[in-house]
Amino acid sequence: MQVKTQLEDLQNYLTDASNMQGGHATRLCIPETAGEVADILHEANEQGIAVTISGARTGTVGGAIPFGGYVVSLERLNRMVEIDRERKIAVVQPGVILGDLQKAVEAEGLFYPPDPTEWSCQVGGTVATNASGARSFKYGATRDFVERLNVVLASGEEIVIRRGEFVADETGSVSVGSIKFKTPSYERPNVRKNVSGYFNAEPLDAIDLFIGSEGTLGVIAEIELRLIDKPKEFFSGIVFFEKQSDLLAFVEEAKLATFAAKFQIAMLRF
């Protein structure tokens, strides 16, 4: 693990694609294993030191900018552990670049649908933000493809959360490892994609609480992703409208037609 404290070493980690200014930190930690992540978090937790997780810093809302404490960069946790053609799964560490993952799985005849705007982002960041993209029209967001997470909690405890394994009981309580929590109780709009607040669909699957939690609940150390067969082909077209109302009507028609057509619409861009 590398630990750096000089300003010239920290400088690139004090901002992100948002271009927000004012970031500062006392230490930069670059771990290479989940155990080293656990050591950092345990120490910081014991001393009451804030920790900011840094991925590829492609976010545009300032989430990777530290305002004191430690910066923990996951750039060295960048192994593709496994791509299984038969089971159609990929196991990766959080620092793997999304574009590299896309190329690797497609070379195996497989396909990972989530396609956020920036392919130079890290896969861990896409899970932490539940990133989507234009193809979410057909395939959904990152959440729909995450089967397992290894997460390091603030205490340094590492937990393994597999989809369907830790689901809230009739009281809304979920237990994972040494932690127990209640499903957040606020209301959410009935829409396909909503990243405001922690996920709280009932009954809550614990894995979904961590997906989209922006690194506030723990550090993602390993991810198992569901893959699909690579589509045989895509084609693109441009449609022009005289009025915005016609465009919106077309979108509604396209959504209905998708299920009956010989081809399916994978994405719509405005």
Q: Given this model, what pLDDT does residue 102 score?
A: 96
Handedness of CA 108, 114, 119, 124 (dihedral sign): negative
pTM of the model: 0.89
User: What is the helix (H) or strand (E) element at residue 128, kind and residue range?
Assistant: helix 123-129
Q: Given this model, what pLDDT does residue 122 score?
A: 97
Closest CA to 101 of 92, 223, 109: 92
CATH 3.30.365.10 fits 80-229, yes or no: no
What is the distance between the alpha carbons of residues 21 and 16, in angstroms, rounded to a whole number? 9
* Domain edges within the chain: 2-73, 80-229, 236-270
In this chain, the answer to whether the domains covering 2-73 and 80-229 adopt an identical fold is: no
For every one of its 270 residues, what pLDDT tens digit does the chain have, with 9 covering 90 and above?
Answer: 899 999 989 999 999 999 899 999 999 999 999 999 999 999 999 999 999 999 999 888 888 999 999 999 999 999 999 999 999 999 999 999 999 999 999 999 999 999 888 889 999 999 999 998 888 878 889 999 999 999 999 999 999 999 999 999 989 899 887 888 888 888 888 777 777 889 988 889 999 999 999 999 999 999 999 999 998 877 788 889 999 999 999 888 877 776 556 667 777 777
Q: Given this model, what pLDDT does residue 212 score?
A: 94
DSSP-derived 3-state class of residue 97: strand
What is the distance between the alpha carbons of residues 78 and 83, in angstroms, rounded to a whole number? 14
What is the distance between the alpha carbons of residues 91 and 223, in angstroms, rounded to a whole number? 6
Closest CA to 42 of 155, 206, 118: 155
What class is the 2-73 domain? Answer: alpha beta
Tell me phi and psi for residue 70, to 5 degrees: -100, 145
Query: What would the DSSP string read from start to end of 149-209?
Result: EEEE-TTS-EEEEETTTSB--TTSEEEETTEEEEPP-----S-S---SS----SSPBHHHH
